[in-house]
Copies of this chain bind each other. A is one copy, B any other.
């Protein structure tokens, strides 16, 4: 290990801010939920991509580890340094320029620190849609969204962050600037560097700007909540929605009755819109290029057919913007409502859609028989095969003692759930990434060949092992 080099030297190399005051640094060293806290040598906030390159050259020269950070809103601890205090925290939030809006090409070129809400607003100002959307959109940055390959509710139609990006500008671990900001739908001239950096969680290099895809704004949208007897019926209804709505189908979410109950309990003014309770619900969104009546007719025809076949027992369709938002709020408030019930154990898993119903049945049964003190709070993006298979303490088990007992079950519950996922060809991190939360587990579920290939790529692009240490392969 080399001695810690002079920060005055670093400060002189780049345009931007270098924070060393502990109070100023504190917000960068803890994630927003307060689950992980680390220490850092300093916080660098460069102004431009060339400044990022200067910072990384300095780090490379002095063998200083680097933790890149966007909006610091991740759920897996990927943007927080370890507690060694050796790493430089590299905040990208000052790279916040919209560089180009190309309406004819349906592309937007933005710097990494632009927030997702600002990206959406820039698209809307050009009468276009940027479809990626997350709860943290006001704080999360597009650089972080791409570094973690963020998902969200419209992946079914538009894809993950990966599918929404055409080109990248990246600073390598050695401080070189790769200008890959291509605004092209087709380019077969060599290896796909873009997709290698996307989803690499800052462990290979630092994304400083991106070319994003834009889409036409839908003319109208409609949303429905349908009560369904079982996850298997929900999957059958998804099939029919895909056939009937085609690409008009922009969201298909599964929600357990437990989830809706928690929202009703904790969110003032919210209520189930259907008269009778059902064990499961699906939220279906249609986006239409024609008009509102066409959107409504399509989703109503789908529901009518589902009711006739017994795939749904009841359904409500939005007939105003307020109702549209109220139905979506039921889905969007689940996570917060679960939090209000006490400690949580969360699993962000993906499965082949054909395996989901049987997975839920088998895993629910295994948990309720082995862990009676645990409550299932299951919802997710059924159209993507992505479940938030979450757990809370059973009803009535509140208080500090119960919380500790519950959290003591985290390791065996993770093992049970993730083994069940792996046995069905699934993923233990669908959209939240590995960070520190799933770092060690990820190696359990990957073959030696796959880990070997990924290690070879890590060593090729970050030979000194400086990029985001303590995270994937670090």
Interface set of A (CB-CB < 8 Å, partner B): 102-107, 148-149, 151, 155-157, 159-160, 162-163, 172, 176-180, 182-193, 195-196, 198-200, 204, 216, 218, 235, 239, 242-248, 287-289, 350-355, 381, 384-386, 425-434, 438, 442, 445-447, 449-450, 452-454, 456-461, 472-473
A106 touches B242 (CB 8 A): yes
A185 touches B155 (CB 8 A): yes
Contacts of A195 in B (CB 8 A): 192, 195-196
Distance A84 CA – B261 CA, assembled complex (angstroms): 72
User: A192-B199, A242-B106, A461-B456 are contacts. A155–B186 as well, Cβ < 8 Å?
Assistant: yes
User: Closest CB of chain B to A43's CB: distance in Å?
Assistant: 26
Contacts of A457 in B (CB 8 A): 191, 193, 196, 457, 460-461
What are 14 A-B residue pairs whose CB atoms fall within 8 Å in the complex?
Answer: A105-B385, A106-B353, A151-B186, A157-B247, A160-B186, A184-B425, A186-B384, A186-B385, A186-B430, A188-B433, A189-B428, A190-B434, A190-B450, A196-B457
Contacts of A200 in B (CB 8 A): 191-192
User: Closest CB of chain B to A134's CB: distance in Å?
Assistant: 14
Across chains A and B, which 3 residue pairs bring their CB atoms closest together, nearest first?
Answer: A247-B247, A246-B289, A104-B354
B182 touches A434 (CB 8 A): no
Give the nearest-CB partner of A461 in chain B: B456
Contacts of A289 in B (CB 8 A): 243-248
Give the nearest-CB partner of A247 in chain B: B247
Distance A355 CA – B182 CA, assembled complex (angstroms): 13
Distance A458 CA – B204 CA, assembled complex (angstroms): 16
A187 touches B442 (CB 8 A): no
Distance A313 CA – B177 CA, assembled complex (angstroms): 48
Contacts of A442 in B (CB 8 A): 189-190
User: Closest CB of chain B to A439's CB: distance in Å?
Assistant: 10
User: A191-B457, A192-B195, A454-B193 are contacts. A186–B350 as well, Cβ < 8 Å?
Assistant: yes
Q: A179-B449, A179-B450 are in contact. List 16 more A-B contacts (CB 8 A).
A: A102-B352, A107-B352, A155-B185, A178-B447, A180-B450, A186-B385, A186-B386, A186-B430, A188-B430, A190-B454, A190-B473, A191-B200, A191-B458, A216-B242, A246-B248, A246-B287
Distance A179 CA – B459 CA, assembled complex (angstroms): 22
A199 touches B188 (CB 8 A): yes
Give the nearest-CB partner of A127 in chain B: B243
A190 touches B446 (CB 8 A): yes
Give the nearest-CB partner of A163 in chain B: B163
A472 touches B243 (CB 8 A): no
Contacts of A431 in B (CB 8 A): 186, 188
B461 touches A453 (CB 8 A): yes
Distance A159 CA – B182 CA, assembled complex (angstroms): 16
B350 touches A190 (CB 8 A): no
User: Closest CB of chain B to A71's CB: distance in Å?
Assistant: 17
B186 touches A427 (CB 8 A): yes
A188 touches B447 (CB 8 A): no
Distance A377 CA – B177 CA, assembled complex (angstroms): 38
B191 touches A196 (CB 8 A): yes
B187 touches A198 (CB 8 A): no
Distance A370 CA – B245 CA, assembled complex (angstroms): 53
B190 touches A352 (CB 8 A): no
User: Closest CB of chain B to A165's CB: distance in Å?
Assistant: 12
Distance A157 CA – B177 CA, assembled complex (angstroms): 33
Distance A183 CA – B180 CA, assembled complex (angstroms): 29
A453 touches B172 (CB 8 A): yes
B352 touches A188 (CB 8 A): no
User: A243-B216, A450-B178 are contacts. A445–B352 as well, Cβ < 8 Å?
Assistant: no
B216 touches A445 (CB 8 A): no
B447 touches A179 (CB 8 A): yes
Contacts of A198 in B (CB 8 A): 192
Give the nearest-CB partner of A287 in chain B: B246
B177 touches A449 (CB 8 A): yes
Distance A193 CA – B180 CA, assembled complex (angstroms): 19
Contacts of A425 in B (CB 8 A): 182-184
